[in-house]
Amino acid sequence: QVKPQLEEKEGKTFDVFTAVEFKTQVVAGTNYFIKVHVGNDNFMHLRVFKSLPHENKPLSLHSYQSSKAKHDELSYF
């Protein structure tokens, strides 16, 4: 659901877009920190917000970090 949001912000499309790891943080909803393989040896870390169920809002790409490697630790940002 967040791939098109990231592609719009980056101004490019990703042929490969595979989540390989994630962590969660409970706030007034849930933050998901997701390590995504985007092709070759390139990875990105995404922060995706899922609102509370009664708000009925779509997943939102809050922020991201590019130029990550497979071994980079996924941390809260």
Give mean pLDDT in consecutive 10-residue pieces for the chain, a chain of 77 residues.
93 94 94 95 95 92 94 91
77 within a domain of the structure (yes/no)? no
- Residue 47 Cα distances to 6, 15, 63, 73, angstroms: 11, 20, 5, 14
9 within a domain of the structure (yes/no)? yes
16 within a domain of the structure (yes/no)? yes
The total domain count for the chain is: 1
53 within a domain of the structure (yes/no)? yes
CATH number at residue 53: 3.10.450
Please give the model's pTM, rounded to 2 decimal places: 0.86
Compute the distance between CA of residue 32 and CA of residue 51 in angstroms, rounded to an integer.
Answer: 11
Task: List the domain range (segments joined by +) for residue 56.
Answer: 2-68
- Residue 17 Cα distances to 24, 53, 57, 61, 73, angstroms: 19, 26, 23, 14, 18
Listed in sequence order, the DSSP H helices in 1-77 are 3-10
73 within a domain of the structure (yes/no)? no
43 within a domain of the structure (yes/no)? yes
